[in-house]
């Protein structure tokens, strides 16, 4: 009789359990690694797609910014040309006159002698004083500048697609 026989059976059973637990642990460990690899691969693909989308948006935004700069320059040029035309028209305009309905009660100190055949030869009108003439023309210029700025703003809104 072998004195170790009573211990061999339980030792073999324990060995089988340890082997089974070891195989389960190794499978769990390898499965976790495989899953982590798949997750990392999915994350890499997702990050690559996200980076491509961001780069695409950046390029699109750059194109939009370039187009907006072109539109801004075009609108600003039209605005400056319009104001230059207004200033030229005001500079070419003759001195302003007021009619008899406005000036009938005033003294004739600002009245200029009417030259026959001139546009201002109407004896019922009076020339404005030079200070008043400049003030009225400055007011006209300011009004035209504000209107031109409003038109430039409308052009910007329309070119930016901000209207319905």
Residue 4 has pLDDT above 80, yes or no: no
Are 96 and 125 within 8 A, CB to CB? no
Most confident of 6-10, 12-16, 36-40: 12-16
Are 147 and 85 within 8 A, CB to CB? no
The three-class DSSP label of residue 98 is strand
Are 111 and 127 within 8 A, CB to CB? yes
What is the pLDDT, as a whole number, of residue 117?
47
Quote the strand ranges of 16-152, DSSP E: 97-98, 126-127
What is the pLDDT, as a whole number, of residue 116?
46
How many angstroms separate the most distant Cα atoms in the chain? Answer: 156
- In sign, the C-alpha dihedral spanning 158, 160, 163, 164 is positive
Are 127 and 97 within 8 A, CB to CB? yes
Structure tokens at 110: 């600002």
């Amino acid at each position: 009789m072998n004195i170790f026989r009573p211990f061999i059976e339980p030792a073999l059973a324990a060995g089988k359990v340890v082997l089974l637990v070891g195989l389960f642990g190794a499978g769990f460990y390898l499965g976790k690694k495989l899953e982590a690899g798949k997750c990392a691969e999915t994350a890499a693909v997702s990050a690559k797609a996200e980076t491509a989308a961001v780069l695409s948006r950046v390029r699109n935004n750059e194109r939009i910014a370039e187009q907006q700069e072109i539109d801004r320059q075009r609108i600003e040029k039209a605005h400056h040309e319009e104001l230059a035309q207004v200033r030229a028209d005001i500079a070419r305009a003759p001195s302003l006159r007021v009619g008899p309905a406005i000036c009938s009660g005033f003294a004739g100190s600002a009245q200029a002698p009417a030259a026959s055949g001139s546009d201002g030869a109407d004896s019922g009108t009076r020339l404005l004083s030079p200070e008043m003439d400049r003030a009225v023309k400055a007011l006209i210029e300011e009004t035209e500048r504000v209107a031109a700025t409003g038109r430039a703003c409308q052009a910007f809104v329309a070119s930016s697609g901000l209207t319905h």
